[in-house]
Chain A
Amino acid sequence: MAIPQITSGPSAPQPRVSRRTLLKGSAATAVAIGMAALPSARTAVEQSIPGTPSGPLRKGRVIDCHAHLTHRSRTTWEADDRKLIEAADKLGIDQLCCSTLTPRRPATADGFRECNRWTADGMRRFPGRVLGYCYVNPGYGREALEEIHRCVGERGFIGIKLYNEYTCMEPVVFPIVELATELGVPILQHAAHSHYFVEDQPRMSDGGHLAELARRYPEAMLICAHISGGGDWEWTIKALRHAPNVLLDTSGSVTDEGTVELAAAVVGVDRLLFGCDSSMTAGVGKIRGANLSAQDKEKILSGNMMRLLRRRKS
Chain B
Amino acid sequence: MSSQFRQRFQRIWDRILQPVWVFLGSYALAISVLLLLLVLTYFGTIAQIHMSIHDAQMKYFDSMFVRVETPIGIPALLPGGRLLLILLTINLIVGGMVRIRRSSSKIGIYVIHAGILILLIGSYFEDVGSEKGYMTLVEGERKDYFHSGSDWEVVIHMAVNDGEEERDFVVPFEQLEPLAEGGSLNVSHPELPFTVRLSDFLLNSKPQRGPDRRMPVVLQELPRDADEVQANAAGISALVVDGHGTRRETVLWGRSLHPWVFKADGRDWGMTLRKRTWMLPYSVQLRDAEGTEHPGTSIPSRYWSDVRRYEGNTATDVHIKMNHPMREEGYTFYQTGFQRAGGGTGKDISTFSVVKNPTDRVPLYACIVIAIGLVIHFATKLERYMRAENKKRELAGHATSTA
Answer yes or no: do A and B interact: no
Residue positions of A touching B, CB distance < 8 A: none
Residue positions of B touching A, CB distance < 8 A: none
